[in-house]
Structure 1
Amino acid sequence: MKKMATIALFCIFLFGSTEAYQLLKLPLLVEHYLQHRSENPEISFLSFLKLHYNKKLIIDDDWQQDQQLPFKTQQSANAFMFGFVSMPSKPISVQVLVIPYSQKTFSIETQQVYSFTFLHDIFQPPRLA
């Protein structure tokens, strides 16, 4: 049951937010190809695809049917996706932040005094009164 629910939710997401819903129009493509094939029996499937998916826009008698073919138009329901993919209209400028550099010198004393007598006056054991 969980597997079926997962598949159903995945399909709803896939067909609702991507262009995968265009695959549901494949029967229209086959039907339109068979219609062209009945008018011209010598047309191949590749020439049919070239005729309908060429970059040139050809408006003929069956233009309305051509617009219903898969991947021919984009629905406005998926227009929200283009906001994430589109480039910003203003150019992006990157500025390099220059951190001022100052050189400091430290002096190291060569004579070091290690005497534990300094601590003798501070730390003393508790005395009994």
Structure 2
Amino acid sequence: MSYILSTTSFVEVLKLPILVDHYLEHDESFLEFMVHHYGGHEKDDDWDRDMQLPFMTGSALMIFAFNIPVSHMAPKPVSALIDPDSRRIMDDSHFSSNYLSDVFQPPKSC
């Protein structure tokens, strides 16, 4: 079973000053600026400048993939946990151990 993790490149965070500078160049509210630039706008006079903004290019992802063998994740079948004669659960790994309960006792006077 494969799991894929995606993380944003730190380069996109470094582009935040460009976002602020470009916002100050426009005579719009911040919401209008964001909708104009990140809402799928067409090419305009400052297209090259727009492409310098964070998250405008698709090359900002690093992908890591790793595999976990299914045998380590597969649960035990129910028939292996239940004694067919008494219909009781044989696996007591779900219950707490009395070994650790000795640690949590009130102090004793000597």
Higher Cα Rg: structure 1 or 2?
Answer: 1
Could you say which structure has the higher helix fraction? Answer: 1
- Normalising by structure 2, what TM-score? 0.46
